[in-house]
Amino acid sequence: MSYSSTQINKLLNSLEKHLADEHPDNPILAKAVKSFRKMDYIGYSMGLLSRDESYATCVTWWPMIAVLGTFSAGKSTFINTHLGLKLQRTGNQAVDDKFTVICYSRHNQAKTLPGVALDADPRFPFFHISKSIEEISEAGQERIDAYLQLKTCPSEKIRGKILIDSPGFDADSQRASTLRLTQHIINLSDLVLVFFDARHPEPKAMQDTLAYLVSASVNRADANKFLYILNQMDVTAQEDNPEEVVSAWQRSLAEVGLIAGRFYRIYNPDVAVPISDPQVRERFEKKREEDMADIYTRMQQIEVERSYRIVGKLEQTAKAIKNQAMVKLVEMLGEWRNKVLLLDGVIFLTLTIFAGAALHFTESWDLLGAFIPGESFSLVALLVLLGGLGFIHFTIRRRVANKIKKKLVQKMGSDHETCKQYTQAFSKSTAAYRSMLFKKPAGWNEVTEQTIDEIIDESNDYIQELNDQFTNPSGNDGENAQVLSS
């Protein structure tokens, strides 16, 4: 589904309005929309964006919390308790095979909508995701509805936020599309809660799953947004040595590369097995309360992290246009120009040689001359010659450009969006009406460069403003959070 430029304009207007309403005393995000718009015009003039697109729709404007983790770890139960609603089905059988995007709605009743609803609305993080699912899907034309659903519910707890519940994760049996979606969700989320089950703290079969979820998080610039949660701790209270369960889990995490991170131990009192020993109970309850408080604090703070994320994305996109797209396009244009000139040269030389030879050995001039006499003959010949040469030249331009585009697609295959943008921009820069001698890509000039620098400056100003507002931007490290050491 695509949008007309007026629709995009309307969407951005309503986004700006919504952000201004949501944070009347914090206009940074509304200002960021304006900066994104400025960048859109550069995208249009360079051909990186089509008129029905916007850089603003590439970011999630809602703060988003993802709950991932192993089968039956208690993800859905945790979410239900948080919402104060029995929204998600729970149980020991794998009950969920879809990702559920949960968001607030004033209406009294919870409602379920198919995934297409998310795919068509640029305010949601799954805007246009169906395309990339189709591209990698094994079963051909799988519908987005097979993977995603949207649930709206009236819980104030998630007003202005998005919460995602995911199916139990098992890297071995997961379809490629589910892995891709999981990555997508991880990338877009402001907070990722990774749930493990204390009943199976170190199952060898889970090793791949652990490796997948954890290696996705270590070495990331935003590693801070991952919280590792060992759930169902109540079960370990029956054991002789509950601490051993925790250490076993820590070892498993360390084995897959997680040597530092935030991790928590909780259980859900609504469904927990009662702990009979009062001393053990007290100890478990205390730890649980501390850890839950930390987790909830982080969940509340994501609005702040969301602001940083969006402003960060603004700067990153502006810099990518200047330092990557521009550079790549210049390089591609250079290659194109050289090849076209070379081929032009080779072909014209060959033609000249052939023509010379032909003239030498035949009397075709005389023959033709008999039909078209005198000056008009040389004029026609000249026009035919120019037309032919022009045709050859423009065919070469087009063919070489197509080859270079193909090469780019092969090289960047994995990054469809950027690849599409570059190809579009390159097509615009190599269009027949544009001189081959321009070194800079279409739409790039001093004004564009100034505007990009302006946007980068603006994003730095926004970050300054955010820093002034929040002294502890990266979130509460939490005294209870332990640092793992291998």
Q: Which residues here bind Mg ion, judged by CB under 5 A?
A: 75-76, 96
Is 72 or 423 the residue whose CB approaches ligand GTP more closely? 72
Binding string, 11-50, against ligand GTP, x = CB under 6 A? ----------------------------------------
Which one among 26, 50, 90, 132 touches ligand GTP, defined by CB under 6 A? Answer: 90
CB-based closest residue to ligand GTP: 168
Is 271 or 483 the residue whose CB approaches ligand GTP more closely? 271
Position 393: which residue type? H
235 binds ligand GTP (CB under 6 A): yes
Q: Please state, as a whole number, how many other Cβ atoms lie within 10 Å of the Cβ of residue 47.
A: 21
424 binds, among ligand GTP, Mg ion, none (CB under 5 to 8 A by kind): none
Which one among 36, 61, 99, 267 touches ligand GTP, defined by CB under 6 A? Answer: 267
- State in angstroms the smallest separation of the CB of 81 from ligand GTP: 9
- State in angstroms the smallest separation of the CB of 169 from ligand GTP: 8
Listed in sequence order, the DSSP H helices in 271-415 are 278-319, 326-361, 364-371, 374-412
Binding string, 362-391, against ligand GTP, x = CB under 6 A? ------------------------------
- State in angstroms the smallest separation of the CB of 272 from ligand GTP: 4
DSSP per-residue string spanning 22-44:
H-TT-THHHHHHHHHHHHHHHHH
Using CA atoms, how far apart are residues 224 and 350, in angstroms rounded to an integer?
64
Spatial neighbors of 120 by CB under 8 A, at least 6 apart, are: 1, 127
Tell me how far CA of residue 198 lies from CA of 169, 224, 229, in angstroms.
Answer: 16, 23, 9
- State in angstroms the smallest separation of the CB of 231 from ligand GTP: 5
Binding string, 46-85, against ligand GTP, x = CB under 6 A? -------------------------xxxxxxx--------
Using CA atoms, how far apart are residues 369 and 372, in angstroms rounded to an integer?
5
- Within 149-178, the residues that bind ligand GTP by CB under 6 A are 167-168
User: Which tokens is 312 given?
Assistant: 């960060």
267 binds, among Mg ion, ligand GTP, none (CB under 5 to 8 A by kind): ligand GTP
DSSP character at residue 315: H
47 binds, among ligand GTP, Mg ion, none (CB under 5 to 8 A by kind): none
Tell me how far CA of residue 352 lies from CA of 98, 102, 343, 356, 387, in angstroms.
Answer: 67, 71, 14, 6, 15
- Within 272-301, the residues that bind ligand GTP by CB under 6 A are 272-273
Question: Which span (101-109, 226-234, 300-308, 431-439) binds ligand GTP, by CB under 6 A?
Answer: 226-234
Question: Which span (11-19, 54-62, 264-272, 468-476) binds ligand GTP, by CB under 6 A?
Answer: 264-272
Q: 245-277 as b/e, with b when 16 or more CB fall inside 10 Å?
A: bbeebbebbbebebeebbbbbbbbeeebeebee
Provide φ and ψ at 240, rounded to 5°.
Answer: -65, -40
Which one among 20, 85, 95, 320 touches ligand GTP, defined by CB under 6 A? Answer: 95
Is 273 or 447 the residue whose CB approaches ligand GTP more closely? 273
- State in angstroms the smallest separation of the CB of 143 from ligand GTP: 21
388 binds, among ligand GTP, Mg ion, none (CB under 5 to 8 A by kind): none
Q: Please state, as a whole number, how many other Cβ atoms lie within 10 Å of the Cβ of residue 399.
A: 13
- State in angstroms the smallest separation of the CB of 409 from ligand GTP: 37
317 binds, among ligand GTP, Mg ion, none (CB under 5 to 8 A by kind): none
Is 273 or 381 the residue whose CB approaches ligand GTP more closely? 273
Q: How many residues does the chain have?
A: 486
272 binds, among Mg ion, ligand GTP, none (CB under 5 to 8 A by kind): ligand GTP
Contacts from 353-356 at CB under 8 Å and sequence distance 24+?
none
Residue 436 near residue 39, CB atoms below 8 Å: no
Tell me whether strands 262-265 and 482-483 are parallel, antiparallel or unpaired: antiparallel
Using CA atoms, how far apart are residues 405 and 403, in angstroms rounded to an integer?
5
Instruction: Output the CA torsion sign for 339, 340, 344, 345.
Output: negative
Is 16 or 234 the residue whose CB approaches ligand GTP more closely? 234
**Residues contributing to the site for ligand GTP (CB under 6 A):** 71-77, 90-92, 94-96, 167-168, 231-232, 234-235, 267-268, 271-273
